[in-house]
Structure 1
Amino acid sequence: MSMRSSHPSDANSRPTRAVATDLLWAGAVIVLVVAVGTLLYLAQSNLSIVLWATVVAVAAIAYSTVVSIETAQTLNAIGERAWTDVQPLRAPATRHLSGSVDRVATLVWEREAALKEALQRERSYTLAVELSEMSLRDAHQRLAEVNAELEAFTYSASHDLAVPLKTIEAFAQLLSESDNLDEEQVDYTARIASTAQRLRSLITDLLVLSRMSSAPTGVENEIVDFNSMVLDIEGEIVTALGMGVNVSIEGSLPTVLAPSARVRPILQNVIQNGLKYNDSESPLVIVSGFRDGNQVIIQIADNGIGVPIAKGEDMFGLFSRLESKLDTPGSGAGLAIARRAARSLGGDLWLESSCPEGSIFMLALPDQIDAGPVPTPAPARVEV
């Protein structure tokens, strides 16, 4: 422990007493110098002048030294007092600074931990995405293989069924031309021929459905003009169903860039479906179209028997047939083929509305041609 008092009055008195003592010594030296100098001057010799100058210089140096020492002591005393005054403030400041440093260190540690955790999550997410992409690629590859196998099987099975079917049709034809059949045998022969025809239609639909279930490959897009396509389909249907049916185009139909061989079965099956399931005296289908954003919308409305909206999705099932009193031929695969063809092109086909007076189907296909303004949509109902 220091022997010096830290009381402020003691610190103030020390430099005062020291300054007084030093000043007395300095005064004594000056008096001595003046006295010696005076005696030498009175002697009036050159040596006395030199000695006088020397004594004066020594006195000045001594006085300056004394003043410097006293100034240093005074400043030292002031510094000690300032240090003593600062001490009460130093401890809280040091504690505050230490606490701030600790908080900053903690914050830095937390940020580093959060960054490491974020990087770990990012790596985990990236790994999960890569694994998902690999799984997705594997699934797509497997799906493509399964589709290829299914298509090959369907083609092979259809071909294997078609060969004996030709034999059945040939024998049925021979039997129908015989003159030795009674009425019952003629009826059986006609049933055999009719069943063979339905089986051939089913085989054809299976082949078409197999091709429409996957995206088109090895074909080029072309400009599909729905106006000419609908007119061509109308000619075929009128030939098959008779002159009593009518297909009408309302306005001008838009065009689309797509494989024509995929678009045609969509229109053909929907139009034919509306005319076959129709108990009107004048079966009618009205086709209209417009552009909606980046899509081409084709509306196909008929005045047929209609179907409840609740069963609208059932119509697109494979081999699904409407319940009606009409004896309508067909395998029930028409709408399934049409929807799969639409979806294979990136579009869709759905039942928009239905009532006892008819149904409205909507076909949406990606629009890849800029063909001008959007025409006004066709009316949502067919009135005959």
Structure 2
Amino acid sequence: MGRALPGIGLIAWGIHAFDYPLRWVFPEWFGYAGYILSSVLATVVAFGLVIGYLQQVRGQLAESETRYRSLFQDSASVMLLIDPSDGSIKDANAAAERFYGWSREELTCMRISQINTLTPEEVQAEMERARALQKNHFEFRHRLASGEVRDVEVYSGPVPGPSGEQWLYSIVHDVSDRVRAQRALEESERRYRAIFQESEQPMLLVDPDGARVVDANRAAARLYGRSVEDLRSMTIADLSAEEPLDAVLEEVRKTLEEDQYVGSYRHRTASGDVLDVEVYATPITFEGKQFLFTIVVDVTDRKRAERELDWYRASLEDEVEERTAQLEEAYQQLARANEAKDDFLRSMSHELRTPLNSVIGFSRLLEQELPGPLNDEQKIQVRMIRDAGMHLLSLVDDVLDLSRIEDGRVSVNVTDIDLGELARQAVAAVRPLAEEKGLALEVAGDAEVSCRTDPQLVRQIVWNLLGNAIKYTEQGFVRVQVGSDGRTAWLAVADTGPGMTPEQIERAFEAFTRFRPPGDSPGTGLGLAISKRLAELLGGRVTVQSALGEGSTFTLELPCTHAGGSGSDR
């Protein structure tokens, strides 16, 4: 209808114009009627033109609003309309809904200070700057509906509101990743500077172009005897005592190609001293430019020590040859001495045993008064002769036994035995000695303990252990206990003797070791040493547990099955 009114008005205006030629033909009243009609028609035409214009303007406004809605609502950028007078959010687009996690209805019920992490006063001050066109770019931290805080860049400027008031049109960009990367870079550079400057290891930052030192830490300044400023005005070739700049630049090129480099050089200090150094270099990018991060290690002392070591090594070889010859000569002398010892022992075995046996035999004949009667004093003297001879014969036997064991001349004949029966036989043999001292002699444990070993050597060990127990025990008992756990057979001899101190326990199995004065009890101090070596020869061991004043327990442990086989010689 609005578009038809202008056309109707033009038609009416034409009829009005047609009236004037007829005004002389028709009566006068017809003329007045024409004027009245023309006025009405003119008014209609005017209204038609106004209404057409308004319709055109309304269409343009609708088109403009459609474009605004498309730019604001459909934009991928986060957009907000904010009233700077109180910070209330007047509108938000779909991108803002997705970014903040609140709906448009929720956002338009909020104030920007509920999103911005600044204080309300600081937010208001920033909005005033944007409204006054003093600033249009801002960096804020905005809070999301999830509670997460994101770094954002905001571009904000004033626009007219629907009622003529002034609003702020704000475009928000999420820059959290960029800010995080920037902070990480700044932190990395801060750590680098802290490590570089505070390190006790000399470090240089070298520009590959010309091998110029662009930075040095305090440790490098101390090493070279120069200030950091002096080092920054030098090249690596200036520090080198041997290499020209061309050679240094070639090594810089290799470092860049291989991504790392290690080399040994000689550098000169400010005082003229020459240092042996090892250089570790690797390319790094710092503040957008590539440099060589270089660590310099002073190895002067080590190189000096290596040179001295080479000299000592060369001289040591000569000394080793000389000492080897001396050792060979000493070995030959020792071998000859050992042969002489064996000859002596064999001779002593014959030369001493024969007269000793004669002494002991004749003393027994005298003790039995076969040649004639003896008075009491003579009987005492004869008994002393016999005991001394027996003691000396025992010493000779023990020395010969120990010598044979150490020389590996002891024959091991392995067979199945009952360790319990062997213990009972040994106890029966020494029982008169125990009864003579008034000691109780007991055998306990398993009735039968099978073991595969050399019965003669085991019997010698048991006799030694029993003889020591009876010899050193003045009152109480001596107990023998036998047992087995399936893998190991054991025989323990416990007594109520004086016991031993820890120091005595450590020395108990040493040859010729006795813990009583020689006159207090007979013996050579070889029994335990022989027993220990015989046990080891059989694949076992002898251990001791003792405490001073509480007696001692010596235990022989043997494998239930000996690995040597029957009839083996050791």
2:420 matches 1:227: yes
2:382 matches 1:189: yes
Aligned to 2:462: 267
Aligned to 1:323: 516
- Deviation string, structure 1 residues 99-132 (Cα, Å, up to 9, x no partner): 676345977999xxxxxxxxxxxxx9xx9xxx9x
- The answer to whether the 8 A contact 1:253-1:290 is kept is no
Uncovered stretches (5+) of structure 1, i.e. residues with no partner: 1-90, 111-123, 371-384
101-110 vs 152-161, which moves further = 101-110
- Deviation string, structure 1 residues 11-66 (Cα, Å, up to 9, x no partner): xxxxxxxxxxxxxxxxxxxxxxxxxxxxxxxxxxxxxxxxxxxxxxxxxxxxxxxx
Instruction: Give 1 or 2 for the bigger CA radius of gyration.
Output: 2
d(CA) in 2 for partners of 1:183, 1:353: 42
The structure showing larger relative contact order (alpha-carbon pairs under 8 Å, at least 6 residues apart) is 1
Q: How does 1:132-171 map to 2 (within 5 A)?
A: 150-171=341-362
2:493 matches 1:341: no
Uncovered stretches (5+) of structure 2, i.e. residues with no partner: 1-208, 211-245, 266-313, 564-570
- Deviation string, structure 1 residues 78-106 (Cα, Å, up to 9, x no partner): xxxxxxxxxxxxx99xx9x9667634597
**SS state at 2:555 partner:** strand
Q: Closer, same or farther in 2 for the Cα pair 1:279/1:109, shift >3 Å?
A: closer
1:193 counterpart letter in structure 2: R
2:467 counterpart letter in structure 1: Q
- The answer to whether the 8 A contact 1:254-1:291 is kept is no
User: TM-score scaled to structure 2, two decimals?
Assistant: 0.37
2:393 matches 1:200: yes
Aligned residues: 268
Q: Closer, same or farther in 2 for the Cα pair 1:305/1:216, shift >3 Å?
A: same
Q: Closer, same or farther in 2 for the Cα pair 1:272/1:190, shift >3 Å?
A: closer
2:473 matches 1:278: yes
Q: Closer, same or farther in 2 for the Cα pair 1:288/1:218, shift >3 Å?
A: closer
- The answer to whether the 8 A contact 1:354-1:360 is kept is no
Q: Closer, same or farther in 2 for the Cα pair 1:146/1:190, shift >3 Å?
A: same
Q: Closer, same or farther in 2 for the Cα pair 1:333/1:172, shift >3 Å?
A: same
- Higher strand fraction (1 or 2): 2
Aligned to 2:199: none
d(CA) in 2 for partners of 1:171, 1:266: 31
d(CA) in 1 for partners of 2:536, 2:395: 22
Q: How does 1:103-142 map to 2 (within 5 A)?
A: 103=255
Q: 2:254 aligns with which of 96, 102, 108?
A: 102
**SS state at 2:547 partner:** strand
d(CA) in 2 for partners of 1:147, 1:206: 14
- Aligned-residue offset at 1:237: 1.4
Aligned to 2:481: 287
Q: Closer, same or farther in 2 for the Cα pair 1:335/1:219, shift >3 Å?
A: closer
- Aligned-residue offset at 1:168: 2.4
- Higher helix fraction (1 or 2): 1
d(CA) in 2 for partners of 1:167, 1:216: 28
Q: 2:445 aligns with which of 235, 250, 253?
A: 250
- Aligned-residue offset at 1:359: 0.8
Identity %: 27
- Aligned-residue offset at 1:157: 0.8
Superposition CA RMSD, Å: 5.0
- Deviation string, structure 1 residues 129-154 (Cα, Å, up to 9, x no partner): xx9xxx99999999888666544432
User: TM-score scaled to structure 1, two decimals?
Assistant: 0.52
1:271 counterpart letter in structure 2: L
301-310 vs 248-257, which moves further = 248-257
Q: Closer, same or farther in 2 for the Cα pair 1:175/1:264, shift >3 Å?
A: closer
